[in-house]
A and B are shown apart, each in its own frame.
Chain A
Amino acid sequence: MTATVPTRALQSGRPGARRPSRMGPRTEATLRIVAPITVGAVVLGVWQFLVSVVGVSDYLLPSPASILEELAASWDSIVSATLITGTNALVGLVAGTLLGIALAALAARWNAVDRMSAPVIAALAVVPIVALAPVLNSMFGADSQFGRQAIAAIASFVPVFVNTLRGFRQTKPVHRELMRAYAATPGQVLRTLTLPTARPFILTGIRIASSLAVISALVAEYFGGPRGGLGSLISTSAASSAYARAWAYVVASIALGLLFYLATLALERLVVRRANPGGPR
């Protein structure tokens, strides 16, 4: 999912790169929307068929219809659970992003910081959420959401940091020399050159981090702490054999992840409209 959207944007943005097609542009656009919907409908149809006609056990696989029923029945609790998990993910995403950008700025400015932080970043990048969640939960107490937010922050921090640092290194020599010739202060260089150059990279980092933040906030709930979030409700429902309800919460989780992804994608489109023009400079 992460990869398909930018690829498609790239193709539609560059007419020369598009493969030759016998279809008209309008047919192609319609097909692009209709095709995935059709695939989805067929999958749901087969699913429903398997459960209601073939007779796959409802314990094994609840039918789409029953999941939909559960979704409507426990709508209020689903909304509140989504809000709790969404808030945790958002807090973590924002904190991780700010931390990632700030540390990347330091690392770009001083090589020593870069070298000191490299192993720490590498370690953070491979930390399994599963391993951290119980530890943080017991650190911050069983009634605090802070542990989950911290986990989401750690998960978002890594891609933001890595991408931002790369972005900060994209400034061209001619631009840097121009800034030197203008006797620009470090703050001015950051504001007028380094940040705008890094902007598309930072936003890509945030977009990747957004999905990770939701997943981490959700998974962290499996490991204790206060109830009420999507993750804890999925595990509770599954444990009490309410499989259709568990699936309903899963559907809500998917919607939440998509919401985060699309919001950051929109932000990226909005801010980077002008950041990467082609042609000679």
Chain B
Amino acid sequence: MSAPEIPAGPAASAASPTAPASAVEVRAVDKVFETRGGLVHALEGIDLTVAAGEFVSLIGPSGCGKSTLMRLIADLDEPSAGAITVFGKTPTQARLDQEYGIAFQQAGLLPWRTVAANVALPLELHGVASAARAAKVGELLDMVGLADFADRYPDQLSGGMQQRVAIARSLAEQPRLLLMDEPFGALDEMTREKMQSDLVRISAETGAAVVFVTHSIPEAVFLSDRVVVMSPRPGRIREIVPMRLGGAVGGAVGSEAGARADAATRAERTDDLREDRSFFDMVTAVREALHGGTPVATGARGVENR
């Protein structure tokens, strides 16, 4: 609104000096829902900056407003107070300009379309020529390892495969920002770890900033540059825990250069990291933040805590 006019260019402008360093800025945001039982304060006094290329997870118990926060960024809901900018624009403008890709907990594929046609949907809606569309879809399906399933229908795929199609679809327009609402929530543990490794690789490859909603601590730790720990009723940010994994130390947190360095080190995250000492340290740090700063027993290593 009062922010200076930013050229509404595609991903290329991320590198230009006039582009804002932050992908998402959330300032003093409140969200109040009116329900039959009265007012529900879903979010209160939220301040958060996500740098371009940075991977930020939102974690917290049910009802802490983490999904709501993501929905506000996506312009699927409007904040009751405060302001959000996405690449310097209002969320509505960012949505209209297709600045972000989105994936939900449900894959949300259209059952009457083939896998390829589902991935092509956003390209089709935005008038990409069919030859370019086919090429892009082939590339995306390769990336998520589903090239052989292009002509199948969603009901012929497993849940994990459907979710991979949904992620390919969210990446179709090379967004600079990916919004993901518990995309692996419905998957079994094996598939989940595989998908996490894939996502780490993909996000590093594309250089997109990611806002990732989850309720799994190990998942948040494994994926993120920073983990935003939230507390419920009203939803507040309790603590932001920067991740230091595998001996690599990220740059200045929240800065673009730092985020780039983080993305580079993030790309090196593999399944070995799940066995790494620093991984458990970070899991512990997030657990303690979740439990309100009081140290919790850390006897059992790598215990799923969700």
Contact = CB atoms under 8 A, between A and B. Distances in A.
A181 B74 contact: yes
A281 B96 contact: no
Contacts of B6: none
A279 B152 CA distance: 14
B53 interface: no
Interface in A168-185: 172, 174-175, 177-178, 180-184
A180 B153 contact: no
Given A181-B102, A281-B155, A274 B111 contact: yes
Contacts of B159: 280
A274 B112 contact: yes
B113 to A, nearest CB: 8
A274 B106 contact: no
A24 interface: no
Given A181-B76, A278-B155, A281-B162, A192 B121 contact: yes
B170 to A, nearest CB: 9
Interface in B70-125: 74-76, 95-96, 98, 100, 102, 104, 106-112, 121-122, 124-125
B154 interface: yes
Contacts of B306: none
Of the four ranges (under 10, 10 to 19, 20 to 34, 35 or more), the interface on chain A belongs to: 20 to 34
B112 A281 contact: no
Interface of A: 172, 174-175, 177-178, 180-184, 188, 192-193, 196, 199, 274-281
Contact of A182 (B111, B122, B154): B122
A174 B108 contact: yes
B126 interface: yes
Which 8 A-B pairs give the minimum distances between C-beta atoms? A277-B155, A174-B108, A279-B155, A181-B102, A174-B106, A183-B96, A274-B112, A196-B112
A193 to B, nearest CB: 7
Which of A181, A184, A192, A193 gathers most chain B CB within 10 Å?
Answer: A181
Contacts of A274: 111-112, 153
B102 to A, nearest CB: 5
Given A181-B74, A182-B98, A280-B159, A275 B108 contact: no
Contacts of B154: 277, 281
A33 B112 CA distance: 32
Contact of B111 (A178, A180, A183, A281): A281
Nearest to A199: B112
A199 B112 CA distance: 10
A281 B106 contact: yes
23 contacts: A174-B106, A174-B108, A175-B108, A177-B76, A178-B102, A180-B76, A181-B74, A181-B95, A181-B100, A181-B102, A182-B98, A182-B125, A192-B110, A192-B121, A196-B110, A277-B111, A277-B155, A279-B156, A280-B155, A281-B106, A281-B108, A281-B109, A281-B154
A172 B76 contact: no
Contacts of B95: 180-181, 183
A279 B121 CA distance: 21
A39 to B, nearest CB: 38
Given A182-B126, A188-B125, A274-B112, A281 B107 contact: yes
Interface residues of B, number: 27
Contacts of B109: 281
Nearest to A193: B110
Nearest to B114: A274
Interface string B252-265: 00000000000000
Contacts of A193: 110
Nearest to B92: A183
Nearest to A179: B125
Nearest to B101: A181
B188 to A, nearest CB: 13
A177 B71 CA distance: 10
A105 to B, nearest CB: 19
A95 B156 CA distance: 38
Contacts of B126: 182
Contacts of A277: 111, 153-155
Contacts of B124: 192
Which of B74, B110, B156 gathers most chain A CB within 10 Å?
Answer: B110
A277 B153 CA distance: 9
A281 B157 CA distance: 9
Contacts of A280: 155, 159, 162
A184 B127 CA distance: 11
A279 to B, nearest CB: 4
Interface in B149-183: 153-156, 159, 162
A227 B208 CA distance: 74
A276 B122 CA distance: 23
A178 B153 CA distance: 19
A280 B155 CA distance: 6
A23 B170 CA distance: 50
Nearest to B109: A281
A188 B100 CA distance: 19
A201 B82 CA distance: 44
Contacts of B108: 172, 174-175, 178, 281
